[in-house]
Homo-oligomer: A and B are copies of this chain.
Amino acid sequence: MQRFINNPDHLVDEAVRGFVKAHRDLVTLHPDNERVIISRSAPVQGRVGIVTGGGSGHEPAFMGYVGHNMVDAVAVGELFSSPTAKSFYDAIKAADGGNGVCVLYGNYAGDNMNVKMAARMAAKDGIQVRTVVANDDVCSAPAAEREKRRGVAGEILMWKVGGAKAATGASLEAVQATAQKALDATRSVGVGLAPCTLPANGKPNFEIAPGTMEVGIGHHGEPGMEVVGLKAADAVADDMLDIVLTEQNLDAGDTVAVLVSGLGATPINELYILYDRIATRLETMSVEIIQPLVGNYFTSLEMMGATLTVMKLDDELRGLLATEANSPGLRVMP
């Protein structure tokens, strides 16, 4: 295993320490919990707090989206494992400015359980907690069972919208409703070309035969919709776009946010090749792309592959995406 590791058991602690040192202008470590990172802008009295959390190995997600007008506090889990309920609880307390906290996270069993416990603990402290559970990954369950779908890179757009909405001074109910609206307008799909290796294990966590690709793969290598022969980049982009657009009902004149994220090891120029095709297709449909994002925004260690996320925008979402933001993983200039 060709990796920069000291001890797999300390990997997350060391990465968090390095992250907090590298971004000390924007974030700080929770004084009593080394798995909670807090924005230096948080909490703001009277403003709704935004919290997220999830397993490590997806950097810059989740910790990279803590910052000004973004996420206020993040709970950090082990590699590909949920943070503890205590960490979510500490993040909620740190983000609370007296007006409640909205936890915007992904639909995984451990996260669901631990956020629920944390919300109960926070309620005892008098902190109101609302949640939005991201389930943007189209291939992880049929449309009729959308509540079973996983949350993937669409979470980044949900955090951007939620953070910007909270910054307007909106109520907890309004922040939750807008984040939910953002999520409801968002669909994602992943295509995997090669697996990743968890250092404690030392072996690839699944197999993708050379010359094939896994359409609909999850952020931890969860099985996709189908394994097919590896196609040319344009055909892959077409497949991805067809999948995310199935439930989007786009018309000429609509505007969308588009995020193409690498899964870790795919060269960045190939992400732009995918984007070139996606942009051309949307242009042909007379759909306008606002603030596209192309790069390694939500990874899976050194997995090869990419995800496509499309969010259909209304005036409110468009405005909130354009709000100034400053986090290590996403900066929107004023």
Contacts and interface: CB of A to CB of B under 8 A. Distances in A.
Interface in A259-292: 264-277, 279, 291-292
Contact of A232 (B6, B230, B273, B292): B6
The DSSP consensus for interface residues of chain A is mixed
A272 B22 contact: yes
Nearest to A25: B291
Given A2-B210, A15-B270, A193-B2, A279 B21 contact: yes
B302 A265 contact: yes
A270 B294 CA distance: 22
Interface string A8-19: 000110111111
Interface in A286-316: 291-296, 299, 301-302, 304, 306
Interface stretch (A121-129, A145-153, A243-251, A326-334): A326-334
Contact of A3 (B11, B267, B277): B267
A15 B302 contact: no
Given A5-B232, A5-B233, A15 B331 contact: no
A21 B302 CA distance: 27
Contacts of A266: 3-4, 302
Contacts of A268: 59-60, 264, 296, 299
Contact of A56 (B269, B276, B279, B294): B269
B267 A18 contact: no
A276 B331 contact: no
A273 B15 CA distance: 5
A83 to B, nearest CB: 15
Which one of A2, A5, A266 has the highest number of Cβ atoms from chain B below 10 Å of its Cβ? A2
Nearest to A236: B4
A57 interface: yes
A275 B21 contact: yes
A75 interface: no
Nearest to A2: B193
Given A265-B302, A294-B22, A3 B272 contact: no
Contacts of A21: 275-276, 279, 292
- Report, nearest first, the 9 A-B pairs whose CB atoms are least far apart: A18-B276, A18-B272, A265-B265, A2-B193, A59-B268, A15-B269, A4-B270, A4-B233, A18-B275
Given A4-B233, A59-B268, A296-B296, 17 more contacts: A2-B230, A4-B193, A5-B270, A5-B273, A6-B232, A6-B234, A14-B276, A15-B269, A17-B276, A19-B294, A21-B275, A21-B279, A22-B275, A22-B279, A59-B267, A267-B299, A331-B331
30 contacts: A2-B193, A2-B304, A3-B193, A4-B193, A4-B266, A4-B271, A4-B273, A4-B306, A6-B233, A7-B232, A14-B273, A15-B269, A15-B270, A15-B273, A18-B272, A18-B274, A18-B275, A19-B294, A22-B272, A57-B269, A196-B267, A264-B265, A265-B265, A266-B302, A267-B302, A268-B299, A326-B333, A331-B331, A333-B333, A334-B334
